[in-house]
Amino acid sequence: MSVPKSLQPAFDGIEPLITDFCNQYLNDEYRELCLHLLEKLCRKRPSPLLAGRKNTWAAAIIYAITTNNFIFDKSQPIHLTADELCAPFGLSKSTVSNKAREIRDMFNITYLNPEWQLACLAEDNPAIWLFNVNGFVIDIRMAPVDVQEEAYRRGLIPFVPACRKKTEEKKN
């Protein structure tokens, strides 16, 4: 993805804040999702990044992505409190969470949207795999391979479960 030239300064100011935070507290997969969201914010017309402080935007982007991936759940391998997430940016939880809510609403960042979920969590998120077909809710992972492939082609699921099972069976 590319960033419009007019938004390159905003991107260049926010990107290092996100990268530094992810390198210190999170991981590469979180960094990639956060930077993907930053790029989308840069391309939004009009871009909300033209107003506000860079550290607020960086914290809100991280907050939006991490809360969608259960960062506050202590059972997760990587977990932080809201205070731990906001403190490095010198911002209050309410400021960051309010801005993050705006971002989540703007880009449909929900547990149902695999675009914003860590790959390691997507596989275990039943909400991603449930679909209404002719009035019946089905788990696409139990559907025939051609149906799974079509759902993948349409961008409805993050991968074809049947193909992943075959790959894993070959490894064992």
> What is the pLDDT tens value at each position of the chain, 172 positions in all?
688 999 999 999 999 999 999 999 999 999 999 999 999 999 999 999 999 999 999 999 999 999 999 999 999 899 999 999 999 999 999 999 999 999 999 999 988 787 898 877 777 777 788 888 889 899 999 999 998 999 899 888 888 988 875 555 555 4
Strands 136-139 and 130-133, bridge-based pairing: antiparallel
**Given phi > 0 = left and psi -120 to 50 = alpha, else beta, which region is 27?**
beta
For tokens 């209050």, the residue is 92
Q: What is residue 161's predicted lDDT score, i.e. its pLDDT?
A: 87
CATH of 5-109, one of 1.10.510.10, 1.10.472.10, 1.10.287.90, 3.40.30.10: 1.10.472.10
CATH 1.10.472.10 boundaries in the chain? 5-109
The CA-CA-CA angle for residues 109, 120, 30, to 5°, reads 55
What is the distance between the alpha carbons of residues 105 and 99, in angstroms, rounded to a whole number? 10
What is the distance between the alpha carbons of residues 27 and 105, in angstroms, rounded to a whole number? 24
Q: Is the pTM of this model over 0.95?
A: no
Q: What is residue 168's predicted lDDT score, i.e. its pLDDT?
A: 52
Element (H, E) at 104: helix 93-107
Q: What one-character DSSP code corresponds to residue 10?
A: H
